Structure 1
């Protein structure tokens, strides 16, 4: 995500493939899908890790939830939980493959892509420690470094690596943990302290406790890292297959994939749902395998459904509102963390541990709708979201033109994404 700076001589013609896509050249379906996925991510983050301690999710459920909260939680568990992050991982893999392809004629392609990931890693570390320790950007940056090794290789190697990593991920519960999770007593203590500090503490109290929590949360990232890399590879494969760039011609295939995957994935997710919601016979050790298979399959179904729908005239009109949000997904993801921190932590409204699932989800919907409106307003004036602009400028080493209408000479003299 080097070139000339503002005021330098125009870039040679060979640089044309590295110039930014205009809005008309962008794949609207991917922007829409990213915008929809951002709602799913916000919905799960706000009702779980922002509302209560992450470690409370691993402890016996002692929360007194009303019938409506139980229904909403059950729907989120089956239809959204983990699917949102899998969908974002697939999309990150698609984006990485697009960048790799668009820089094909550049001798510094790998340097630029490594720099892009280093900037992502730096922003992720700031987010992790100063804003919210539920960050996924650090993990995505590290997974991106692994995937870069495969992008220039044959498809069979990428597919084989993805299957191997998914197999490793689903069998990890049967193996000795590389980095063990805290014990039940430590989790209970962390959850109790989180309720006190996050709910009533000032900014520096929250900061100190957040930093203490990071090592305890680290094993969770180790556990899901193989799945993240695998989904990146699957996303990259989806792009290289040509189905996404020719989505309009492949609508029938995409609808078949969407229907089959959503039905199969939904059935698997339902059968593996937590016992507090559904009194079904336990699957024992197979539950994790069934649940994770459902997550991946259903995520692919969601992606196929949205991409196919956007390539229908009615679908484009119905879902087009999500495209600006998706074009600013990086900015909006970080903004969600800042906003939710202010709502739930003691230095803001201090609602941590005080709200039910339904009320919290309603707040999340309000935040999301506000971001939809803001993103559309911003992109009528600017080419990128503010964080996207920073990311691209750091990647290329020169400030990128950000105004929606810029001097053509400047456009020729700079390189952006």
Structure 2
């Protein structure tokens, strides 16, 4: 699907931004609205993916039995719906757009005689934001990974767009095969009679122990959160999860690095600015979404048939869904780019504004969830089932849509976007319009 979509762009595009200076605000006319529109939907969708891990132990993100209360989803259909429609797709879209944003930023920098060191400083500060997010606010941070992997992508920006696409596409395929080889056998050994053979006894015992350790760690953190021991939560992360951001780099890098490269390539080829044929984009977009969605549904039904076991859900998320996820991510990016062209109404403009303040919305959501769930605040951690958590999600979406547009009518950037920009350029920039 990806190659056919890319081939609709006959020539690569080199955009020269016309901003008066690097420190000037990105005015509406110079922005590619499709990037903001997709980014706005993606940052909302990331909350849909993460809401369970905000309000329940971290393992409940994949494993329904990790809930501290009945899930409110006895047959697992909500789990399947989220798995098919949301999980991994929103992160994938966000990653694709992060790659496109890297190149857009550098186009403006190069036009003003700057070098990649400006982007490197920008990524350095993003990494620090990510580590602060991880250790102090929420363990589900992705900003640190974006900063490190973005630094690798920075070295490839002078490649041709076709090279970036091919390296990204084929490395994603290779990573997907590796994920499948690593993860797919786990439920076979842990949950079936096949694993009862003497040859697999040690592996089966190791998997059982690994599950017990992970769930016990979830219980420790849950008790700290419910008790309102905020300092204890932070200490637990430093004591027991200090190296997790580094150890997960390889795991996430197999997906994020290829997607960022493909995002750069698609941006340069003109996908997000309307240079691809609309009919082909629509055809390949729906092909990717439908084919990838059906594959996800088949995987979800297999997990349901197996009783939503710990290693069955892990294999579904990490080992089996990577390839169909790529089809859905590229397909969604194509369809949403087409939708962005008509996003001129009340809702569309507010989604675009949420995308322009995505950094603030992403971190701000994590801060808001502290007040909703932690014991020192409203104390709802571990008390809401899946449908109730979705209600919290919808209310938070409403907040994103309500504040972002009025804010941008008065200020040039979102609060954290402004701070990040000031740190990048090393000076205080104009904030109010």
**TM-score for both structures, normalised by structure 2:** 0.81
- For 1:292, the equivalent position in structure 2 comes to 322
Q: Give the total of aligned pairs.
A: 384
Counterpart selection for 1:194 from 221, 226, 231: 221
Residue 25 (structure 1) shift: 2.2
Q: Where in structure 2 are the equivalents of 1:196-211 lying within 5 Å? A: 196-211=223-238
Q: For residues 85 and 171 of structure 2, what CA distance do their matches in structure 1 show?
A: 24
SS of residue matched to 2:241: helix
Q: For residues 125 and 286 of structure 1, what CA distance do their matches in structure 2 show?
A: 28
**1:354-408 alpha-carbon deviations (Å, 9 max, x no partner):** 110110111111011112111111111001001000111111112111112xxxx
Question: Given that residues 59 and 184 in structure 1 are in contact (C-alpha distance below 8 angstroms), is that contact kept between their aligned partners in structure 2?
Answer: no
Counterpart selection for 1:99 from 101, 105, 119: 105
Counterpart selection for 1:148 from 144, 154, 158: 154
**1:207-237 alpha-carbon deviations (Å, 9 max, x no partner):** 2123335347444443121210111001100
Per the alignment, do residues 359 and 332 of structure 1 end up closer, same or farther by CA in structure 2, a change over 3 Å counting? same
Q: Where in structure 2 are the equivalents of 1:49-198 lying within 5 Å? A: 49-57=53-61, 61=65, 63=67, 64-67=70-73, 70-173=76-179, 174=181, 183-198=210-225
Out of 290-299 and 16-25, give the one that drifted further. 16-25
Q: Where in structure 2 are the equivalents of 1:248-397 lying within 5 Å? A: 250-273=277-300, 275-277=302-304, 290-312=320-342, 315-317=343-345, 319-397=348-426
Residue 15 (structure 1) shift: 7.7
Q: For residues 168 and 401 of structure 1, what CA distance do their matches in structure 2 show?
A: 46
What is the root-mean-square deviation of aligned Cα atoms in Å?
A: 2.9
Q: For residues 50 and 251 of structure 1, what CA distance do their matches in structure 2 show?
A: 39
Question: Given that residues 251 and 311 in structure 1 are in contact (C-alpha distance below 8 angstroms), is that contact kept between their aligned partners in structure 2?
Answer: no
**TM-score for both structures, normalised by structure 1:** 0.84
**1:324-375 alpha-carbon deviations (Å, 9 max, x no partner):** 1100000010110001112112222222221101101111110111121111
Q: For residues 307 and 284 of structure 1, what CA distance do their matches in structure 2 show?
A: 32
**1:74-104 alpha-carbon deviations (Å, 9 max, x no partner):** 2111100111111100010110111122222
> Do structure 1's residue 34 and structure 2's residue 39 form an aligned pair?
yes
Greater percentage in helix: 2
Question: Given that residues 69 and 357 in structure 1 are in contact (C-alpha distance below 8 angstroms), is that contact kept between their aligned partners in structure 2?
Answer: no
Question: Given that residues 153 and 260 in structure 2 are in contact (C-alpha distance below 8 angstroms), is that contact kept between their aligned partners in structure 1?
Answer: yes
Question: Given that residues 150 and 157 in structure 1 are in contact (C-alpha distance below 8 angstroms), is that contact kept between their aligned partners in structure 2?
Answer: no
**1:134-189 alpha-carbon deviations (Å, 9 max, x no partner):** 1110000001000001111122431232134313422334369xxx9992221121
Question: Given that residues 132 and 210 in structure 1 are in contact (C-alpha distance below 8 angstroms), is that contact kept between their aligned partners in structure 2?
Answer: no
Per the alignment, do residues 213 and 337 of structure 1 end up closer, same or farther by CA in structure 2, a change over 3 Å counting? farther
Per the alignment, do residues 109 and 20 of structure 1 end up closer, same or farther by CA in structure 2, a change over 3 Å counting? farther
In the alignment, structure 1 segments of 5+ residues that lack a partner are 1-13, 405-417
In the alignment, structure 2 segments of 5+ residues that lack a partner are 1-17, 184-205
Out of 271-280 and 159-168, give the one that drifted further. 271-280
Q: For residues 278 and 403 of structure 1, what CA distance do their matches in structure 2 show?
A: 56
Residue 257 (structure 1) shift: 2.3
Per the alignment, do residues 284 and 388 of structure 1 end up closer, same or farther by CA in structure 2, a change over 3 Å counting? closer
SS of residue matched to 2:272: coil
SS of residue matched to 2:127: helix
Q: For residues 95 and 259 of structure 2, what CA distance do their matches in structure 1 show?
A: 6
Per the alignment, do residues 343 and 15 of structure 1 end up closer, same or farther by CA in structure 2, a change over 3 Å counting? closer
Question: Given that residues 38 and 355 in structure 2 are in contact (C-alpha distance below 8 angstroms), is that contact kept between their aligned partners in structure 1?
Answer: yes
SS of residue matched to 1:304: helix
Question: Given that residues 137 and 366 in structure 2 are in contact (C-alpha distance below 8 angstroms), is that contact kept between their aligned partners in structure 1?
Answer: yes
Question: Given that residues 225 and 381 in structure 2 are in contact (C-alpha distance below 8 angstroms), is that contact kept between their aligned partners in structure 1?
Answer: yes
SS of residue matched to 1:261: helix
Residue 296 (structure 1) shift: 1.3
